[in-house]
């Protein structure tokens, strides 16, 4: 009989094969799961090198997969010097003079966490122009939604201090994503952060051709430095969908740790900004969507990708966009009525049951941001959406229950850095539907069970990245990507669930995080 490297014993094992919890033990040998067994550990499995963990009732799960992350956006928060502690313009000048002296060979000067009082400040703007008349300088406020910048930066990068959304920042990505002294360490810390939250796989978004970051992925993969499995997608921003790039990436990346996953594209925008495309007008108006959406061009790009057997995920916030996306997907290649290529829809804020059934029938998966209710109070959620879309539509906002009941396979996502992955948060805000004030539950009829939530983070998420054959469940032959919570997550009262932490994360049979 095989001698195990690791044995994890617990009375709360969630395999994600079904909703049954097993009291027993998981046996790991090398990078694989040998099996999960009920009852007491067989002594013949234990050798001199075996590590046996008796975990009591602490829950064991398959490793978590976040199906929508954005490292190039996350890392902007750490780009350049941190100016959070700067109190006045004089101190800012001293710090910038230091940058001028020590960053003379750099292509641009960046900074982060600049206090808001320095934004829209003519004294600061003059300071940047005087110190850096030719070199681009951009100092971001925390969250990098706004910044201060000089004229050289405006001319070089094409964005403005008021418009610093991720898509607008694509021209600076070729600078910092190729600064190996900076980006390698940041990527290592990024993976550590994900591992500490139980995340062992992600589907990463990268603009256009990723601006050279694929070289980092290749080096990390070749040198066994990855503790997170990466499926990356190209999101067209500065150019249209580049099929030849995808074909190249598909050949270059064929390991179990890095693969090219296809293409991602935006459609409509925020409902509260009236940029979400609705099937019926916004409340009290004749407006369906303030944003111009070229569905014909989107269809051409999706069908071209589908023809070349690449996958697409499209963003949908309003039920009108949801309907149009399904019409596009319905034109893609099918096998026995279901899509040949595994396309998805992300966000899914407002949907209608008849289209949910169509989505399930086509085999389109959904990516959901279940932690989103943490961002505002119950009263604000109700007031803002009632005013914008009325009571009936507000009540079916984020209706994950209806999507699942109509047969849609839902995968967990965060749109990181919008949210950071946290399964306890996902349960609290997505299974109980509490809001920021933690007092009242909103749209409680739309919630899903803890079992369903864990499946969204495990087997369904691996389905979304086409890795369900080797990941996503605890069963013999699967790779040993596992997470252990510090308690029984099923028996924890909801008011205590946010106190839950990851105790250990295992990737490919190796412990990559331990509390």
Alpha carbon distances (Å) from 320 to 163, 278, 288, 364: 27, 4, 8, 17
Quick one: residue 477, left, alpha or beta (phi over 0 = left, psi -120 to 50 = alpha)? left
- Residue 107 has a pLDDT of 87
Domains (ranges, CATH) in the chain? 6-63+475-514 (2.30.40.10), 71-176 (3.10.310)
- Residue 168 has a pLDDT of 86
**What's the predicted TM-score (pTM) here?**
0.96
Question: What SS3 class is residue 393?
Answer: helix
Six-digit token string for 221:
């993969």
Q: pLDDT in tens for each of the 515 residues of the chain?
A: 688 999 999 999 999 999 989 999 999 999 999 999 999 999 999 998 999 999 999 999 999 999 999 999 999 999 999 999 999 999 999 999 988 887 655 789 999 999 999 999 999 999 999 999 999 999 999 988 899 999 999 999 999 998 888 888 899 999 999 999 999 999 999 999 999 999 999 999 999 999 999 999 999 999 999 999 999 999 999 999 999 999 999 999 999 999 999 999 999 999 999 999 999 999 999 999 999 999 999 999 999 999 999 999 999 999 999 999 999 999 999 999 999 999 999 999 999 999 999 999 999 999 999 999 999 999 999 999 999 999 999 999 999 999 999 999 999 999 999 999 999 999 999 999 999 999 999 999 999 999 999 999 999 999 999 999 999 999 999 999 999 999 999 999 999 999 999 999 999 999 999 99
Q: Tell whether the torsion through CA atoms of 182, 185, 188 and 192 is positive or negative.
A: negative
Six-digit token string for 307:
């023809």
- Residue 479 has a pLDDT of 98
- Residue 196 has a pLDDT of 98
Please provide the DSSP assignment of 170-205 as one string. HHHHHHHTT-HHHHHHHHHHHHHHHHHTTEEEEEEE
Contact (Cβ atoms closer than 8 angstroms) between residue 164 and residue 140:
yes
Six-digit token string for 92:
């800012």
Cα–Cα dist 74/142, whole Å: 11
Cα–Cα dist 201/65, whole Å: 5
Cα–Cα dist 404/106, whole Å: 51
- Residue 101 has a pLDDT of 81
Residue 217: partners with Cβ closer than 8 Å, 6 or more residues away: 230, 232, 253, 258
- Residue 106 has a pLDDT of 75
- Residue 104 has a pLDDT of 57
- Residue 105 has a pLDDT of 55
Helix (H) or strand (E) holding 347: strand 344-347
Contact (Cβ atoms closer than 8 angstroms) between residue 357 and residue 323:
no
């Amino acid at each position: 009989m095989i001698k195990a490297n690791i044995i994890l014993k617990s009375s709360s094992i969630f395999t994600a094969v079904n909703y049954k919890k097993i009291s027993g033990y998981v046996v790991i040998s090398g990078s694989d799961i040998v099996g999960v067994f009920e009852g007491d550990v067989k002594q013949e499995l234990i050798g001199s090198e075996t590590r046996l963990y008796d975990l009591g009732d602490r829950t064991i799960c398959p490793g978590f997969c976040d199906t929508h992350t954005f490292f190039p956006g996350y890392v902007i928060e750490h780009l350049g010097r941190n100016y959070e502690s700067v109190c006045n313009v004089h101190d800012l000048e001293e710090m910038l003079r230091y940058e001028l002296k020590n960053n003379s060979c750099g292509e641009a000067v960046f900074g982060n966490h600049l206090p808001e009082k320095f934004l829209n400040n003519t004294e600061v703007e003059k300071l940047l122009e005087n110190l850096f008349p030719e070199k681009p300088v951009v100092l971001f406020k925390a969250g990098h939604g706004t910044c201060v910048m000089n004229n050289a930066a405006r001319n070089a990068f094409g964005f403005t201090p008021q418009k610093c959304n991720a898509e607008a920042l694509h021209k600076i990505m070729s600078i910092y994503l190729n600064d190996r002294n900076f980006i390698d360490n940041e990527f290592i810390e990024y993976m550590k952060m994900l591992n500490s939250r139980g995340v062992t796989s992600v589907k990463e978004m990268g603009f256009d051709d990723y601006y050279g970051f694929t070289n980092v992925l290749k080096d990390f993969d070749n040198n066994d430095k990855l503790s997170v499995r990466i499926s990356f997608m190209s999101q067209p921003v500065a150019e249209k969908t580049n099929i030849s790039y995808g074909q190249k990436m598909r050949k270059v990346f064929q390991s179990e740790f890095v693969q090219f996953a296809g293409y991602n594209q935006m459609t409509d925008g925020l409902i509260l900004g009236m940029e979400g495309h609705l099937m019926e007008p916004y409340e009290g108006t004749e407006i369906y969507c303030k944003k111009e959406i070229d569905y014909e061009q989107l269809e051409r790009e999706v069908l071209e990708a589908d023809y070349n057997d690449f996958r697409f995920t499209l963003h949908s916030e309003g039920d009108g966009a949801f309907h149009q996306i399904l019409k596009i997907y319905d034109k893609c290649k099918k096998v026995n009525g279901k899509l040949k290529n595994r396309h998805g829809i992300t966000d899914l804020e407002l949907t209608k049951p008849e289209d949910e059934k169509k989505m399930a029938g086509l085999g389109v998966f959904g990516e959901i941001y279940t932690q989103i209710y943490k961002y505002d109070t119950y009263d604000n959620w109700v007031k803002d959406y009632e005013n914008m879309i009325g009571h009936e539509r507000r009540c079916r906002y984020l209706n994950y229950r209806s999507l699942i009941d109509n047969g849609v396979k839902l995968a967990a996502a965060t749109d990181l850095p919008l949210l950071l992955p946290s399964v306890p948060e996902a349960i609290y805000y997505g299974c109980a539907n509490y809001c920021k004030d933690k007092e009242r539950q909103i749209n409680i009829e739309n919630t899903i069970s803890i079992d369903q939530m864990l499946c969204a983070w495990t087997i369904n998420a691996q389905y979304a990245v086409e890795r369900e054959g080797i990941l996503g469940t605890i069963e013999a032959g699967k790779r040993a990507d596992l997470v252990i919570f510090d308690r029984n997550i099923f028996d924890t009262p909801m008011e205590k669930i946010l106190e839950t932490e990851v105790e250990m994360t295992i990737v490919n049979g190796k412990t990559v995080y331990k509390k």
